[in-house]
C-alpha cells in the first residue's frame, strides 16, 4: 500500500506547541493534512492550517519527516516550522473533525494524548535536535 503524504505546520510560541484534538483518533495533532494532486508539501501545510485553524501562516523552514501508521495505513508526515501572521487567533474551523486547540507546553508532552508524529517531534525538540 502506498504511503500517504501529509504536511503540517509546527507552530511554537513561548515554549508551547499549537495542536488540535482530532475526534476520530482521540489525540492532539499538528494542523495539517493530505497533499492534493499537483500541490507542493509547503502549499499543503499552508492550506491545511488555514482550513483547520483559520490562520494564515508563514513557513520559516522545513523540519523534516517521520513515517508512522494509524489504523493499518502508512503515513509520511512532513513538518514545517511556521508562524501565525500577526493579529490572527487560532480557532477550530472544522468542528465535525476537531474538538479544540491547545497550546501544549513542549516539556510536558508526556501528559497529553498526542499523535505518534507529534510525540516523536516533542521528544526530538526536548532533546535539542532542532536547535529551536
Going from N- to C-terminal start, the domains of the chain cover 4-126
Residue 132: the pLDDT is 60
Q: What are the phi and psi torsion angles at 90 (to 5°)?
A: -65, 140
Q: How does pLDDT run across 34-73, given as a tens digit for each residue?
A: 999 999 999 999 999 999 999 999 999 999 998 888 788 8
Proportion of the chain in helix, strand, coil states, percent, rounded to 5: 25, 45, 35
Q: How does pLDDT run across 64-99, given as a tens digit for each residue?
A: 998 888 788 899 999 999 999 988 999 999 999 999
Residue 114 DSSP one-character state: B
Residue 131: the pLDDT is 66
Residues 6+ apart with CB under 8 A from 34: 4, 5, 6, 44
What CATH code would you report for 4-126? 3.90.79.10
Amino acid at each position: 500500500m502506498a504511503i500517504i503524504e501529509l504536511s503540517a505546520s509546527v507552530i511554537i510560541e513561548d515554549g508551547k506547541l499549537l495542536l488540535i484534538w482530532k475526534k476520530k483518533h482521540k489525540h492532539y495533532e499538528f494542523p495539517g493534512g493530505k497533499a492534493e494532486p499537483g500541490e507542493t508539501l509547503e502549499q499543503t501545510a499552508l492550506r491545511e492550517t488555514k482550513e483547520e485553524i483559520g490562520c494564515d501562516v508563514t513557513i520559516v523552514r522545513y523540519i523534516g519527516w517521520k513515517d508512522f501508521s494509524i489504523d493499518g495505513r502508512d503515513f509520511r508526515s512532513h513538518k514545517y516550522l511556521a508562524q501565525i501572521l500577526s493579529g490572527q487567533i487560532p480557532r477550530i474551523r472544522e468542528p465535525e473533525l476537531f474538538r479544540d486547540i491547545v497550546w501544549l507546553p513542549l516539556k510536558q508532552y508526556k501528559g497529553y494524548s498526542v499523535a505518534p508524529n507529534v510525540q516523536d517531534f516533542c521528544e526530538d525538540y526536548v532533546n535539542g535536535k532542532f536547535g529551536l
